[in-house]
A and B are shown apart, each in its own frame.
Chain A
Amino acid sequence: MIAVKNLTKKFDQFTAVDDLSFTVQEGEVLGFLGPNGAGKSTTMKVITGFLAPSAGTVTIDNHDISHDAIAAKALIGYLPEGAPSYGDMTTQEFLRFIASVRGFSGDALNQRVDKVIEEVDLESVRHQTIDTLSKGFKRRVGLAQAIMHDPKVLILDEPTDGLDPNQKHHVRELIKNLARDKIVIISTHILEEVTAVCTRAIIISQGRIVADGKPAELEARSRYHHAVSVRLSEAHDLQADLAGQKGVASIEQDPADPLSFTILAEGGEAIYAEVSEIAKNRNWPLEEFHVQRGQLEDVFRSITQKAQPLEAVQEDAA
């Protein structure tokens, strides 16, 4: 278990992380979201023991990262932002170096390095100098070193940044496979990633937690939650048909496509049945008709732009 208690990190006058508290349990894949400069990377740097906290504590399985650093660090696999590695070494040399620091030697080391190279699919560049690798391969080398000792805690700072869609998919599958009975923390600003791999998401803004919940719960906060999207084949006055309908908050027309409408639900109530009933009775010229789950992006924007502390947002939701 990772326990972060009242964590604060200041750089001179600037407070990057402001009194952050949360715990992460085994089996959880936590997505760490926030706009650039929100304090995501700083938080990760403190959790991994790279930076010392200004106040507060971080414990990894009861090992305090400040006072029992070696034991805590031994439990963590970390992919720093930008996946740095020693560019003048070959993939294999670099991974062998990491494996020996992680306590492997002899046959066990060879086997482990081979296993990781296979898992992250690096066989083709095994003897290539890291400096000459493409961005995608470099990222995978970084991932390979992070999972080298099959760590209990995996902390990945923007693991899919700069990868093509196939590589992204591959890395996400890898993370999902690794995640069983592990703690995984991923920082990202790609929201689809959260829905794809995370079991929980924390949104931080200006160093404070502004939302914490399952991705689905966060989506439910979106004003698009349970909204009905329709696309018509010819013009029709939806406004008149829906006027006075209970549960319908408003109708938005897509500025790019005048025949597409989104019917927003009041308070996120399910309005699918009512709207479809009206559509049938009034003979809407329907081409498409579907219900939205909510847009994480919309939640992200509304929360981080308001940038209110957690309590206030919870009141809003309640």
Chain B
Amino acid sequence: MSNLGIIFKRELLGYFATPLAYIFIVIFLITNGIFTFDLGGFYVRGQADLLPFFGFHPWLYLFMVPAIAMTLWADERKTGTIELLLTLPIRLSEAVLGKFLAAWVLTGIALLLTFPIWITVNYLGDPDNGVILAAYLGSWLMAGGFLAIGSCMSACTRNSVIAFILTVAICFSFVIIGSPILLNAFPDWVPQGLVDAFSALGFLTHFDSISKGVLDIRDLLFFTVFIGAWLLASAIVIEMKKAN
């Protein structure tokens, strides 16, 4: 197995060695249920789609994902295992990526376990499963974006609570950047191109189009580049702050 695979496996098993993974998954499923059926008006809408389900994901991730990401590097620093890990014959990139992927797969598992909702909507009606599949992909990509931010914030501090708060704050700003409330707040004299460029940084802009079944390469590229950039930043921060 490659070093990346070894790190990935250790991290993923680490989540399941403690109650963390189970608690995360259970809370994720319960909140998803409440949001979808209760707040989202799944039945009341009378439509065979999962828009209310996916519509809440950005807000759900806002608190759930930083909770996973906060320990990624902060704990390594706190317990001193970072010194062990980074003096093994592995590349820093393998460690950063392996840890990220393990956390990302955990969110993927939680997401997959929402399949009863998909079964329900198929039982009740005749939804477009292609759209649902695209939305699942978009949701997972967005979770990856949140996680990548969390990885970087976790690398900044040895205190995981601080990492959590920083991650929530930054993720929140990336969620609202694309929202109409913020975009309408721009005065008229600001060129439209600038407003568009600004809103293009927001998660909602990209997630909305994917969750409607529009798999635009630009949206996929956005999340990929976004994740890549934050992971690169993680690696730089780790390299810089190793000593403290």
Given B3, B14, B86, B243, which contacts A88 in the complex, CB threshold below 8 Å? B14
For chain A, residues 35 to 55, give those with C-beta under 8 angstroms from any C-beta of chain B. 45, 48-51
Is B80 a contact of A82 with CB atoms below 8 Å?
yes
The complex places the Cα of A97 from the Cα of B5 at a distance, in Å, of 11
Inter-chain CA distance A105–B9, complex, in Å, is 14
Q: Do A70 and B89 touch (CB < 8 A)?
A: yes
B20 closest partner in A (C-beta): A88
Name the contact of A100 in the complex, choosing from B1, B79, B87, B243 (C-beta under 8 A): B1
A101 to B91, CA, bound (A): 11
**B90 and A86 contacting across the interface, CB-CB below 8 Å:** no
Q: Does B83 contact A (CB under 8 A)?
A: yes
CB-based contact A73/B91 at 8 Å = no
B80 engages A81 (CB within 8 Å):
yes
Contact, CB under 8 Å: B83 / A80: yes
In the complex, which residues of chain A have a beta carbon less than 8 angstroms from the beta carbon of B84? 78, 80, 84-85, 145
- Interface residue range, chain A: 20 to 34
Interface pair A74/B79, CB less than 8 Å apart = no
Contacts of A73 in B (CB 8 A): 87-89
Cβ-based interface call for B173 (8 A): no
In the bound complex, how far is the Cα of B1 from the Cα of A217, in angstroms?
Answer: 49
B6 lies within 8 A of chain A by Cβ: yes
Interface string of A64-85 (1 = CB under 8 A from B): 0000011101101010111011
**Most A C-beta atoms less than 10 A away, residue of B14, B81, B88, B243:** B88
A242 within 8 A of B: no
Q: Given A45-B83, A50-B83, A101-B6 in contact, is the A88-B18 Cβ separation under 8 Å?
A: yes
Give the residue name and chain of the B residue nearest to A72 (CB): B89
- Enumerate chain A interface residues (CB-CB to B < 8 A): 11, 45, 48-51, 69-71, 73-74, 76, 78, 80-82, 84-89, 93, 97-98, 100-102, 105, 145
Mark B residues whose CB is within 8 Å of A: 1, 3, 6-7, 10, 13-14, 17-18, 79-81, 83-84, 86-91, 242-243
**A-B residue pairs in contact (CB < 8 Å), sample of 23:** A49-B86, A50-B83, A50-B87, A50-B242, A70-B89, A73-B89, A74-B89, A78-B84, A81-B80, A86-B10, A86-B14, A87-B79, A88-B18, A89-B10, A89-B17, A93-B13, A97-B6, A101-B6, A101-B7, A101-B88, A101-B90, A102-B89, A105-B1
